[in-house]
């Protein structure tokens, strides 16, 4: 596979690049996040090996910017062995995996193969449906530019919807995702919480993003309130 190695320590970069070449891979090396952003967007890389400690823009910021630019090339972060916080920050910035320095070369190769198998699948760190956004890492949500305060259960329910935009979800599915399958709550609690959510993310903004699907449950869509020409549609909501 073709790898982009982003590493400012020249000696280590040479060593890793040589190892990759010996194992039949193609490795390009750049020494900064800025250079990485400039070359990776052409999408020709199967994996990016991204050091955390870089001059200027660090590895976290580089990864965040890649994902914000909708570049989904798998990223393996190269982190310090002792820094748990680095590994968390890297994964939350959109990295797919990490190896801790100093790493065993065989492990690096195995992790590269594992993330490359996933390919360039969109996997945004912040879930977006229309102008509704939800960040599972910071546990925050926004409608347009306004932050929406949600209870833990409302957040879990909204996350369940936003991970499956456009799909009709049954009350049982929503219960499993937001309450867990060993909970003994009645399925009509879903209706109650959908109502709470609508009051927070839809009604104040004139939206109808959570739609009632008759005989099934609910689904979230980008925006049911406004058609393409900007006219407001009459949206028939099953339970009002
Ligand atoms: Ca470094």
Q: How far is the centre of ligand 1, averaged over its atoms, from the C-alpha of 36 (Å)?
A: 14
Q: How far is the centre of ligand 1, averaged over its atoms, from the C-alpha of 8 (Å)?
A: 5
Range of the domain at 21: 2-117
Q: How far is the centre of ligand 1, averaged over its atoms, from the C-alpha of 14 (Å)?
A: 13
Q: How far is the centre of ligand 1, averaged over its atoms, from the C-alpha of 32 (Å)?
A: 9
Dihedral sign, Cα of residue 88, residue 92, residue 97, residue 98: negative
Same domain membership, residue 132 and residue 108: no
- Cross-strand partners of 48: 4, 75
Q: Is 155 helix (H, G, I), strand (E, B) or coil?
A: helix
Which pLDDT value is given to residue 229?
42
Which pLDDT value is given to residue 91?
94
Same domain membership, residue 204 and residue 132: yes
**Residue 72 pLDDT grade (very low, low, confident, very high; cuts 50, 70, 90):** very high
Q: How far is the centre of ligand 1, averaged over its atoms, from the C-alpha of 29 (Å)?
A: 13
Q: How far is the centre of ligand 1, averaged over its atoms, from the C-alpha of 190 (Å)?
A: 49
* Mean per-residue pLDDT, 50-78: 95
Q: Domain boundary at 64, 89, 117, which?
A: 117
Model confidence at 236: pLDDT above 90: no
| Tally of domains within the chain | 2
pLDDT digits (tens, 9 = 90+) for 8-56: 999 999 999 999 999 999 999 999 999 999 999 776 899 999 999 999 9
Neighbours of 130 (CB within 10 A): 17
Q: How far is the centre of ligand 1, averaged over its atoms, from the C-alpha of 116 (Å)?
A: 23
pLDDT digits (tens, 9 = 90+) for 123-164: 889 999 999 999 999 999 999 999 999 999 999 999 999 999
Same domain membership, residue 25 and residue 7: yes
């Amino acid at each position: 596979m073709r790898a982009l190695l982003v590493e400012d320590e020249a000696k280590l970069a040479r060593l890793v690049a040589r190892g990759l070449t010996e194992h039949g891979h193609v490795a390009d090396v750049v020494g900064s996040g800025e250079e990485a952003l400039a070359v990776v967007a052409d999408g020709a890389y199967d994996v990016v090996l991204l050091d955390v400690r870089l001059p200027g823009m660090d590895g976290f910021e580089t990864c965040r910017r890649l994902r914000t630019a909708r570049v989904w090339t798998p990223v393996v972060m190269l982190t310090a062995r002792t820094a748990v916080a680095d590994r968390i920050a890297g994964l939350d910035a959109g990295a797919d995996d990490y190896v801790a320095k100093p790493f065993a070369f065989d492990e690096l190769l195995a992790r590269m193969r594992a993330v490359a198998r996933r390919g360039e699948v969109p996997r945004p760190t912040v879930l977006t449906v229309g102008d509704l956004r939800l960040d599972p890492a910071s546990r925050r949500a926004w409608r347009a530019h306004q932050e929406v305060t949600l209870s833990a259960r409302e957040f879990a329910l909204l996350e369940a919807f936003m991970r499956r935009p456009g799909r009709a979800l049954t009350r049982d599915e929503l219960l499993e995702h937001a309450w867990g399958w060993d909970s003994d709550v009645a399925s009509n609690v879903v209706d109650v919480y959908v109502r709470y959510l609508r009051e927070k993310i839809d009604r104040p903004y004139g939206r109808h993003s959570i739609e009632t699907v008759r005989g099934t449950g609910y689904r979230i869509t980008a925006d049911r309130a406004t058609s393409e020409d900007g006219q407001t549609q009459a949206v028939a909501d099953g339970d009002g």
